Amino acid sequence: MFSVKLAEETILNLVQPFDPIYDRESINLVDAVGRILSIDLVSKLDFPHFTNSAMDGYAFHYADLEQFPALEIASVDIPAGASSPIPLAIGQCARILTGGILPDRADTVVMQEDITKIDRDHLKLEVVPAIGENVRPKGAFYRAGSLLLPAGTKIDPTSIGALAAAHYQQIEVYRRPRVAILSTGNELVDLYSQAELKLGQIIDSNQYSIASLVRQTGAIAIPMGIVPDRKSELAQAIKDSIDTADIVISSGGVSVGDYDYVETLLAEMGAEIHIRSVAIKPGKPLTVATWQQDLPAPKLYFGVPGNPVSAMVSFWRFIAGSIAKLSGANQSHWYPKFITATTTQDLHAQGKRETYLWGYLRWQSGQYTFQPVDNYSSGNLISLVGTNALAVLRVNQTYVPAGESVLILHL
Ligand code: AMP
Ligand code: MG
């Protein structure tokens, strides 16, 4: 049995990130949020493109202040968008608005709050700014040729704004990973089946929860449906999944029950099995296999337990990070986000396996608190609804009293 840490490392080592040449596409910037840059983006422009004012005020030549106790106000105003820099005579200043082009002779802007008008055409500075103050020189933020965003950046709204400002209409991103989702079990019925549920049957909920988790990572979920616990059908479904996807996730059939075929079947079909079980609760049975075809990169197979909560915990702990690595995202996206919080109630675990207890993470009176749910059955999906965190009790950690700090995986 693998420790959680070793399982995480083993899985990440199996993932070969997308190729920046073959696994990329060009998309419109407006569609890019959540996507991963496949190349370094270098600015084609200086930013600011031209020297301009950072304030509403008056532009002037700093050294003129020595000779001229009052500055003469030029007749032309400089609003943002005015296209040619105005000339400025010695001893003159010009009314300028934020974003306006600085006049050629000017080097400093005084805020409009800091002057008084002597008459219609003259003003006096009440507060003298430092030389260069309130001016945004051309290229001060970045220069043409400088790196804006490196490959592997996950595009967020701030990057969208920065790239729009840098005049990127289209960008090169990695393609989205394709993830096939299979549900195994004779008891499973499709959500949209018209027939009434018979005794012993349940709806295949994993198909939908896992597909949603996959989509949340930015990957494409490919629903492969339900496969009964029969070897020949399972073999065909696994083969079809491998053919269409980069990653396959099947749920169910990975325990040691009489109908749990996934692992033996994978081995018979020539897959290489790397992990069979992990010392984690919930989610102990976890099959991780690779599929070496005539491909540049092996395909990754995850067999997670059928219990709905276990399946989701396995995804959060092990699969989300592998999808991130495959997708070309930089290393900061390969691991879950951990913080610490104060538990509001006693937490218990058996101590043999690393235990994940779900609950509510809140910001209360200046600290994070964790409140566990009341019922920890790994079949009880409704207890997971609305939770946003998993408290982690390490191996041999059997008890965390209320008021103590606990490690939290933030969902
Ligand atoms: P298994 O891992 O196949 O032994 O299944 C463990 C438990 O999870 C059983 O109670 C199954 O009925 C249930 N289960 C398996 N697959 C699913 C699924 N796709 N949706 C909901 N429950 C499932
Ligand atoms: Mg089963």
Centroid of ligand 2 to alpha carbon of 126 (angstroms) = 80
Nearest Cα residue to atom 23 of ligand 1: 306
CATH placement of domain 338-410: 2.40.340.10
Q: Which atom of ligand 1 is nearest to the CA of 204?
A: 20
DSSP state of 402: T
**Token pair in block for residue 16:** 């070969």
* pTM for this entry: 0.94
Quote the strand ranges of 209-256, DSSP E.
220-227, 247-251
pLDDT at residue 128, rounded to an integer: 97
Q: What is the pLDDT of residues 245-295, one digit of tens each?
A: 999 999 999 988 888 899 999 999 999 999 999 999 999 999 999 998 767
Helix (H/G/I), strand (E/B), else coil: 213? helix
Which of 184, 193, 199, 202 for mutating ligand 1's site (highest number of atoms within 8 Å of CB)?
A: 202
Say if strands 71-73 and 247-251 run parallel, antiparallel, or are unpaired. unpaired
Centroid of ligand 1 to alpha carbon of 93 (angstroms) = 77
Mean pLDDT of 99-112: 97
* CATH fold group of domain 52-136: Molybdopterin biosynthesis moeA protein; domain 3 (2.170.190)
Is pLDDT of 12 > 80?
A: yes
Q: What is the pLDDT of residues 175-205, one digit of tens each?
A: 999 999 999 999 999 999 999 999 999 999 9
Compute the Cα dihedral for 14, 19, 25, 27 and give only its sign: positive
CATH superfamily of 26-42+150-174: Molybdopterin biosynthesis moea protein, domain 2 (3.90.105.10)
Q: What are phi and psi of 39, to 5 degrees?
A: -135, 160
Mean per-residue pLDDT over the chain, rounded? 96
Ligand number, closest to the Cα atom of 285: 1
pLDDT at residue 202, rounded to an integer: 98
4-18+176-333 shares its CATH topology with 338-410: no
Quote the strand ranges of 3-137, DSSP E.
24-28, 41-42, 52-53, 57-60, 71-73, 92-96, 108-111, 115-119, 122-125, 135-136
Residue spans of the domains in the chain: they are: 4-18+176-333, 26-42+150-174, 52-136, 338-410
HEC-encoded secondary structure of 96-116: ECCCCECCCCCCEEEEHHHEE
Query: What does 121-160 look like in DSSP terms, one character per residue?
Result: TEEEESSPPPTTTTEE-TTSSB-TTSEEE-TTPBP-HHHH
- Domain 4-18+176-333 = CATH 3.40.980.10: yes
Q: What is the pLDDT of residues 34-76, one digit of tens each?
A: 999 999 999 999 999 999 999 999 999 999 999 999 999 999 9
pLDDT at residue 294, rounded to an integer: 66
Q: What is the pLDDT of residues 154-179, one digit of tens each?
A: 999 999 999 999 999 999 999 999 99
End-to-end CA distance of the chain: 26
